[in-house]
Amino acid sequence: MNTEWALKELETFINYTQRDYNTMANYAAPDAQIVGQAQIVEKILVRVLPGWRTEVPMNKVDRWGQHREAAIRAREELVREQEINENLGENAPKLSAAELHPWAWSGASSLWQSGHYREAVGGAIRKLNAETQNKIGRRDVSETDLFKQAFTLDYAVRDKARLRRMTPDDSDTYKSLQRGAMAFAEGVFAGIRNPLSHEADQELSEQEALEYLAALSVLARWVDAAELEKAS
Protein backbone atom coordinates (compact mmCIF):
# COMPACT_ATOMS: atom_id res chain seq x y z
CA MET A 1 0.00 0.00 0.00
CA ASN A 2 1.13 3.54 -0.78
CA THR A 3 0.85 4.83 2.80
CA GLU A 4 1.52 8.46 1.90
CA TRP A 5 -1.30 8.47 -0.66
CA ALA A 6 -3.70 6.67 1.70
CA LEU A 7 -3.02 9.18 4.47
CA LYS A 8 -3.67 12.07 2.11
CA GLU A 9 -7.02 10.60 1.01
CA LEU A 10 -8.07 9.90 4.59
CA GLU A 11 -7.12 13.41 5.68
CA THR A 12 -9.11 14.90 2.82
CA PHE A 13 -12.20 12.95 3.84
CA ILE A 14 -11.78 13.90 7.51
CA ASN A 15 -11.58 17.56 6.53
CA TYR A 16 -14.59 17.28 4.21
CA THR A 17 -16.76 15.83 6.99
CA GLN A 18 -15.77 18.35 9.66
CA ARG A 19 -18.78 20.13 11.19
CA ASP A 20 -19.63 22.33 14.15
CA TYR A 21 -21.36 20.00 16.59
CA ASN A 22 -22.55 22.92 18.73
CA THR A 23 -24.69 24.27 15.93
CA MET A 24 -24.93 21.08 13.80
CA ALA A 25 -23.86 23.19 10.84
CA ASN A 26 -23.32 21.70 7.41
CA TYR A 27 -20.24 19.73 6.52
CA ALA A 28 -17.11 21.54 5.38
CA ALA A 29 -17.56 20.24 1.82
CA PRO A 30 -20.58 19.76 -0.46
CA ASP A 31 -22.30 16.39 -0.23
CA ALA A 32 -21.25 15.40 -3.77
CA GLN A 33 -17.57 15.85 -2.88
CA ILE A 34 -17.98 13.82 0.31
CA VAL A 35 -19.73 10.98 -1.54
CA GLY A 36 -16.96 10.85 -4.14
CA GLN A 37 -14.22 10.85 -1.52
CA ALA A 38 -16.06 8.19 0.51
CA GLN A 39 -15.80 5.83 -2.45
CA ILE A 40 -12.01 5.96 -2.22
CA VAL A 41 -11.86 6.00 1.57
CA GLU A 42 -13.99 2.85 1.86
CA LYS A 43 -11.43 0.95 -0.21
CA ILE A 44 -8.63 2.19 2.06
CA LEU A 45 -10.60 1.22 5.16
CA VAL A 46 -11.05 -2.34 3.87
CA ARG A 47 -7.24 -2.62 3.69
CA VAL A 48 -6.43 -0.95 7.01
CA LEU A 49 -9.49 -1.79 9.16
CA PRO A 50 -11.23 -4.75 7.45
CA GLY A 51 -13.98 -4.98 10.08
CA TRP A 52 -14.71 -1.25 10.33
CA ARG A 53 -18.40 -1.52 9.42
CA THR A 54 -19.09 -3.69 12.46
CA GLU A 55 -16.35 -2.48 14.82
CA VAL A 56 -16.96 1.25 14.49
CA PRO A 57 -20.36 2.25 15.94
CA MET A 58 -23.02 3.80 13.73
CA ASN A 59 -23.85 7.46 14.32
CA LYS A 60 -27.60 8.04 14.07
CA VAL A 61 -27.33 11.84 13.99
CA ASP A 62 -24.41 12.15 11.59
CA ARG A 63 -24.63 10.52 8.17
CA TRP A 64 -20.85 10.37 7.84
CA GLY A 65 -20.07 9.85 11.51
CA GLN A 66 -19.14 6.17 11.22
CA HIS A 67 -17.01 6.79 8.13
CA ARG A 68 -15.27 9.73 9.78
CA GLU A 69 -14.41 7.85 12.96
CA ALA A 70 -13.14 4.90 10.93
CA ALA A 71 -11.02 7.27 8.81
CA ILE A 72 -9.50 8.82 11.94
CA ARG A 73 -8.73 5.37 13.34
CA ALA A 74 -7.19 4.25 10.04
CA ARG A 75 -5.07 7.40 9.87
CA GLU A 76 -3.64 6.74 13.33
CA GLU A 77 -3.09 3.08 12.50
CA LEU A 78 -1.00 4.01 9.46
CA VAL A 79 0.88 6.88 11.13
CA ARG A 80 1.79 4.90 14.23
CA GLU A 81 2.05 1.38 12.78
CA GLN A 82 5.83 1.10 13.19
CA GLU A 83 5.66 2.50 16.72
CA ILE A 84 2.91 0.06 17.69
CA ASN A 85 4.77 -2.91 16.26
CA GLU A 86 8.02 -1.98 17.98
CA ASN A 87 6.40 -1.47 21.37
CA LEU A 88 3.96 -4.36 21.31
CA GLY A 89 6.38 -6.80 19.69
CA GLU A 90 4.21 -7.48 16.65
CA ASN A 91 6.72 -7.48 13.83
CA ALA A 92 5.21 -10.46 12.02
CA PRO A 93 4.02 -9.91 8.43
CA LYS A 94 0.33 -9.13 7.99
CA LEU A 95 -2.05 -10.81 5.56
CA SER A 96 -4.52 -8.56 3.75
CA ALA A 97 -7.70 -10.15 2.40
CA ALA A 98 -7.81 -7.58 -0.40
CA GLU A 99 -4.40 -8.73 -1.66
CA LEU A 100 -5.41 -12.37 -2.01
CA HIS A 101 -6.05 -13.83 -5.45
CA PRO A 102 -8.96 -11.95 -7.08
CA TRP A 103 -11.09 -15.10 -7.31
CA ALA A 104 -10.90 -15.56 -3.55
CA TRP A 105 -11.44 -11.92 -2.60
CA SER A 106 -14.02 -10.90 -5.21
CA GLY A 107 -16.25 -13.78 -4.20
CA ALA A 108 -16.03 -12.78 -0.55
CA SER A 109 -15.64 -8.99 -0.43
CA SER A 110 -19.24 -7.76 -0.22
CA LEU A 111 -20.22 -10.18 2.55
CA TRP A 112 -16.89 -9.73 4.32
CA GLN A 113 -17.39 -6.00 4.71
CA SER A 114 -20.72 -6.58 6.47
CA GLY A 115 -19.18 -9.06 8.89
CA HIS A 116 -20.74 -12.20 7.38
CA TYR A 117 -17.52 -14.18 7.36
CA ARG A 118 -18.93 -17.68 6.93
CA GLU A 119 -21.00 -16.60 3.93
CA ALA A 120 -18.00 -14.70 2.56
CA VAL A 121 -15.87 -17.84 2.55
CA GLY A 122 -18.71 -19.73 0.91
CA GLY A 123 -18.90 -17.08 -1.80
CA ALA A 124 -15.16 -17.38 -2.42
CA ILE A 125 -15.47 -21.15 -2.79
CA ARG A 126 -18.30 -20.78 -5.32
CA LYS A 127 -16.28 -18.23 -7.27
CA LEU A 128 -13.22 -20.51 -7.36
CA ASN A 129 -15.34 -23.45 -8.49
CA ALA A 130 -16.98 -21.40 -11.27
CA GLU A 131 -13.70 -19.94 -12.56
CA THR A 132 -12.14 -23.40 -12.66
CA GLN A 133 -15.13 -24.71 -14.62
CA ASN A 134 -14.76 -21.80 -17.02
CA LYS A 135 -11.05 -22.42 -17.54
CA ILE A 136 -11.39 -26.07 -18.47
CA GLY A 137 -14.73 -25.60 -20.22
CA ARG A 138 -16.81 -27.97 -18.11
CA ARG A 139 -20.10 -27.67 -16.27
CA ASP A 140 -20.78 -31.38 -15.79
CA VAL A 141 -18.51 -31.70 -12.74
CA SER A 142 -17.84 -29.48 -9.75
CA GLU A 143 -15.98 -29.16 -6.46
CA THR A 144 -13.72 -32.11 -5.51
CA ASP A 145 -14.39 -34.11 -8.67
CA LEU A 146 -13.76 -31.06 -10.83
CA PHE A 147 -10.27 -30.53 -9.41
CA LYS A 148 -9.41 -34.22 -9.45
CA GLN A 149 -10.21 -34.42 -13.15
CA ALA A 150 -8.50 -31.10 -13.88
CA PHE A 151 -5.19 -32.03 -12.24
CA THR A 152 -5.14 -35.75 -12.98
CA LEU A 153 -2.00 -37.20 -14.53
CA ASP A 154 -4.14 -38.76 -17.26
CA TYR A 155 -3.89 -37.32 -20.75
CA ALA A 156 -6.53 -34.88 -21.92
CA VAL A 157 -9.34 -36.48 -23.90
CA ARG A 158 -12.25 -35.04 -25.83
CA ASP A 159 -14.36 -32.70 -23.63
CA LYS A 160 -12.02 -33.32 -20.68
CA ALA A 161 -9.25 -30.75 -20.62
CA ARG A 162 -6.51 -30.86 -17.96
CA LEU A 163 -4.56 -28.27 -15.99
CA ARG A 164 -0.78 -28.64 -15.88
CA ARG A 165 1.23 -26.80 -13.22
CA MET A 166 4.39 -27.36 -15.26
CA THR A 167 5.26 -28.82 -18.63
CA PRO A 168 4.30 -32.51 -18.46
CA ASP A 169 7.20 -34.93 -18.22
CA ASP A 170 7.97 -38.09 -16.31
CA SER A 171 9.71 -36.33 -13.44
CA ASP A 172 8.76 -36.75 -9.79
CA THR A 173 8.39 -32.96 -9.55
CA TYR A 174 5.68 -32.87 -12.20
CA LYS A 175 3.81 -35.75 -10.62
CA SER A 176 4.11 -34.20 -7.17
CA LEU A 177 2.71 -30.84 -8.33
CA GLN A 178 -0.30 -32.48 -9.93
CA ARG A 179 -1.01 -34.81 -7.01
CA GLY A 180 -0.50 -31.97 -4.56
CA ALA A 181 -3.09 -29.80 -6.30
CA MET A 182 -5.62 -32.65 -6.29
CA ALA A 183 -5.04 -33.44 -2.62
CA PHE A 184 -5.13 -29.78 -1.60
CA ALA A 185 -8.41 -29.20 -3.44
CA GLU A 186 -9.93 -32.26 -1.78
CA GLY A 187 -8.86 -30.89 1.60
CA VAL A 188 -10.40 -27.50 0.84
CA PHE A 189 -13.79 -28.97 0.00
CA ALA A 190 -13.78 -31.65 2.70
CA GLY A 191 -12.31 -29.49 5.46
CA ILE A 192 -13.73 -26.04 4.65
CA ARG A 193 -16.65 -26.15 2.26
CA ASN A 194 -18.51 -29.17 3.68
CA PRO A 195 -18.48 -28.05 7.35
CA LEU A 196 -19.65 -24.57 6.32
CA SER A 197 -22.64 -25.97 4.45
CA HIS A 198 -23.59 -28.29 7.33
CA GLU A 199 -23.13 -25.75 10.14
CA ALA A 200 -25.04 -22.78 8.77
CA ASP A 201 -25.86 -21.46 12.24
CA GLN A 202 -22.22 -21.14 13.34
CA GLU A 203 -20.38 -17.94 12.39
CA LEU A 204 -16.62 -17.86 11.78
CA SER A 205 -14.27 -15.47 13.51
CA GLU A 206 -12.59 -12.93 11.25
CA GLN A 207 -9.18 -14.56 11.73
CA GLU A 208 -10.44 -18.06 10.96
CA ALA A 209 -12.24 -16.81 7.85
CA LEU A 210 -9.10 -14.99 6.69
CA GLU A 211 -7.07 -18.18 7.02
CA TYR A 212 -9.69 -20.05 4.98
CA LEU A 213 -9.55 -17.37 2.28
CA ALA A 214 -5.76 -17.69 2.21
CA ALA A 215 -6.09 -21.42 1.51
CA LEU A 216 -8.57 -20.71 -1.28
CA SER A 217 -6.22 -18.09 -2.69
CA VAL A 218 -3.42 -20.64 -2.97
CA LEU A 219 -5.63 -23.02 -4.94
CA ALA A 220 -6.94 -20.17 -7.10
CA ARG A 221 -3.39 -19.13 -8.03
CA TRP A 222 -2.52 -22.69 -9.00
CA VAL A 223 -5.55 -22.95 -11.26
CA ASP A 224 -5.05 -19.50 -12.77
CA ALA A 225 -1.34 -20.08 -13.50
CA ALA A 226 -1.74 -23.63 -14.82
CA GLU A 227 -1.47 -24.35 -18.55
CA LEU A 228 -4.60 -25.71 -20.20
CA GLU A 229 -4.12 -29.02 -22.00
CA LYS A 230 -6.75 -30.12 -24.51
CA ALA A 231 -7.01 -33.28 -26.56
CA SER A 232 -5.29 -32.84 -29.91
Q: Check residue 91 and give its pLDDT.
A: 62
Q: Check residue 126 and give its pLDDT.
A: 96
Q: Do residue 103 and residue 75 come from a single domain?
A: no
Helix (H) or strand (E) holding 9: helix 3-16
Q: Do residue 10 and residue 49 come from a single domain?
A: yes
The angle at the Cα of 207, spanning 55 to 222, to the nearest 5 degrees, equals 130
Show which of 88, 105, 133 is a domain's final residue.
88
What's the domain range around 208?
Answer: 97-229
Q: Which SS3 state, helix, strand or coil, does residue 76 take?
A: helix
Q: Do residue 131 and residue 208 come from a single domain?
A: yes
- Bridge partners for 160 per DSSP: 157
Q: Do residue 29 and residue 70 come from a single domain?
A: yes
Supply the DSSP symbol for 203.
Answer: P
User: Which phi and psi angles does 164 have, rounded to 5°?
Assistant: -115, 120
Q: Do residue 124 and residue 209 come from a single domain?
A: yes
Show which of 70, 88, 106 is a domain's final residue.
88
Q: Check residue 16 and give its pLDDT.
A: 95
Q: Do residue 70 and residue 176 come from a single domain?
A: no
Q: Check residue 92 and give its pLDDT.
A: 66
Q: Do residue 109 and residue 221 come from a single domain?
A: yes
Supply the DSSP symbol for 226.
Answer: S
The angle at the Cα of 149, spanning 144 to 150, to the nearest 5 degrees, equals 95
List the one residue out of 18, 95, 78 whose CA is nearest residue 44: 78
Supply the DSSP symbol for 97.
Answer: G
Return all residues near 159 (Cβ < 8 A) that are at least 6 apart.
Answer: 137, 138
Residue-by-residue pLDDT tens, the chain, 232 positions: 788 999 999 999 999 999 876 666 789 999 999 999 999 999 999 889 988 988 999 988 889 999 999 999 999 999 988 787 777 766 667 778 888 999 999 999 989 888 899 999 999 999 999 999 999 999 999 999 999 999 999 999 999 999 999 999 989 999 999 999 999 999 999 999 999 888 777 889 888 999 999 999 999 999 999 999 999 8
List the one residue out of 96, 109, 95, 127 whose CA is nearest residue 193: 127
HSE, CB side, 13 Å, CA atoms: give it for residue 171.
8
Amino acid letter, 113: Q
Q: Do residue 142 and residue 211 come from a single domain?
A: yes
Show which of 56, 88, 120 is a domain's final residue.
88
Q: Do residue 74 and residue 124 come from a single domain?
A: no
Q: Do residue 77 and residue 157 come from a single domain?
A: no
